[in-house]
Amino acid sequence: MNMKAIIIGVAISVAVAVMAPKLASMWWLFAIVAAGAWLYMLGMILAKHGALPDSLASLLLGKGIKASLTSGVKAEQREKRRQEMLATVTRAAVEAGLNNRFVGQQALNEAVARAVERHVAKKNPVEPLSLLLAGPSSSGRSSFAEMMAQAMFGEKGTVKRIDCAGDSSVDWNDIAKAYEANPLTVLLVDGIDRVGTALTSGSFGTEMARLLEDGTILGVKGKASRGFVVLTSSIAESEAKDLHKKHAEQGLEHLLAEMRKTALGNAQIGVDVTGRVTLPLVICPVEDMGKAAIVWRLFCQSVQTEHGIVINQEGGEGLDEFLMRAMEKWQTASHGIGVREASRWVAEVAGESLIEAAREGITHAFASYDVDQGRILLERDMVAEEAARAAAQAARGPSLEDHLKGKAGKLNRKLGIMKADA
């Protein structure tokens, strides 16, 4: 209840009671005033709790008063709704929902379910959960955002789309309203590698970076922190088109045989719910991107590799081989990506328990090719000083390859001891 309204109503009633004997001839006037005060109090209480139609509440109280009274209640209602929806979002439920909608992409679905589970478990997340989906045309990148929203929230799931290849600028007010109406909105940033002139000439990069970094929309920090962002990018475009053509002409078996000869040979192939053959999707968690400059650099460079950043480790590849492969891949394709996000990607492959070792290994990989300039790529990163020291050591001491192999060997031996103890 609104204490201010109650106090006003009681005060007027007391005044009426005191003044009535002296002005008995005007008792009706005081009765009207008292009744009006109580009606005003009742109207404020009902408006605050959303029991009055918006038009009546605005007419009775004024738009400003109505907004101030209802904003707190709406925030409480949104938070209650968010908690109710999050309670249904479990790793198993999300994975099952995605598997039902996106057939044949189990590795992708498992990775998304893990990422969603971690994000939902955070009490006060700073940034939204952001996922970069890379794949050729007709791989279902864009539709995945809708599938993800449905898998998590059913019909209540909301998807907002930004077409980066379009000619129009982004209406951030519209996006802000979407997150206000549903804090769990999935924002689809489609074709991030095809950003058009309308976006690059405006504030899109700045706004997008702020959104990914701390959920800020139009200067309001944390507005999208509980939400989800799906960015899409293209890889192996020409090969994908050629494979689709061959599939149409010669069938699925020939397509599978052809894929083994291409850059897509080690990736998954699936069939979506419509029966359409889908070429691989690769997912890159970007939830730990800490600096806006790195985010924008990623957009501008359209970072691509043969398979994107592969999330699932198959074939029993050891950590040393993986680190060497990752080092070569990132050195040639991803100069603008920082150590923290690279280590997160390594952790997705090698397991969460290896994140510190992966960070150290990738730190050396990144620092080594920039040591001649006397700096590293990400000066303000949390591991910048460590990386600088590692770079100096690598320049003076053993080769980077030997260093990485040594680190990997120690870690593998340590893990072997831990497994034996277990």
Give one DSSP letter per residue of 314-348, joined into a string: -TT--HHHHHHHHHHHHHHH-TT--HHHHHHHHHH
202/162 Cα distance (integer angstroms): 14
Query: What does 154-208 look like in DSSP terms, one character per residue?
Result: GGG--EEEEETTSSSPP-HHHHHHHHHH-TTPEEEEE-GGG--HHHHTTTHHHHH
- Indicate the SS3 state at residue 220: strand
CATH architecture of the domain 88-305 equals 3-Layer(aba) Sandwich (3.40)
Per 3-state DSSP, what percentage of the chain is helix, strand, and coil (rounded to 5)? 60, 10, 30
Residue by residue, pLDDT tens for the chain (422 residues) are: 456 656 666 666 666 666 656 555 565 666 676 677 667 767 666 655 555 555 555 555 555 454 444 455 566 776 677 777 777 788 888 888 877 766 656 666 777 787 788 778 877 777 787 776 665 555 667 777 887 888 787 777 788 888 877 666 788 888 888 887 777 788 888 876 566 555 554 567 667 767 777 788 888 877 787 788 887 766 544 444 555 555 555 554 554 455 444 433 333 333 333 333 333 333 333 332 222 223 222 322 222 222 223 222 233 333 344 444 444 444 444 343 444 444 444 444 433 333 344 444 444 444 443 333 333 333 323 333 343 344 344 444 444 344 444 544 444 444 444 333 33
pLDDT of residue 289: 26
pLDDT for residue 195: 60
| Domain layout of the chain by residue ranges | 3-83, 88-305, 313-422
pLDDT of residue 107: 64
* Strands 228-233 and 282-285, bridge-based pairing: unpaired
Tell me how long the chain is.
422
Tokens of residue 410, six digits: 């120690």
d(CA 345, CA 265): 21
Name residue 118's amino acid: R
pLDDT of residue 117: 82
What span, in angstroms and rounded, lies between the C-alpha atoms of 412 and 422?
Answer: 15
Tell me the Cα Rg of the chain: 29
Q: Which residue has the tokens 């109710």?
A: 84
Neighbouring-strand partners of residue 42: none
Burial label, 187 (beta-carbon count in 10 A; 0-12, 13-18, 19+): buried
Residue 269 CB partners (closer than 8 Å, separation 6+): 104, 255, 256, 259, 277, 278, 279, 280
Cα torsion 133, 139, 145, 150: sign: negative
Contact by Cβ (8 Å): 227, 116: no
Q: Residue 92: phi, psi to the nearest 5? A: -65, -40
Query: Quick check: pTM over 0.75?
Result: no
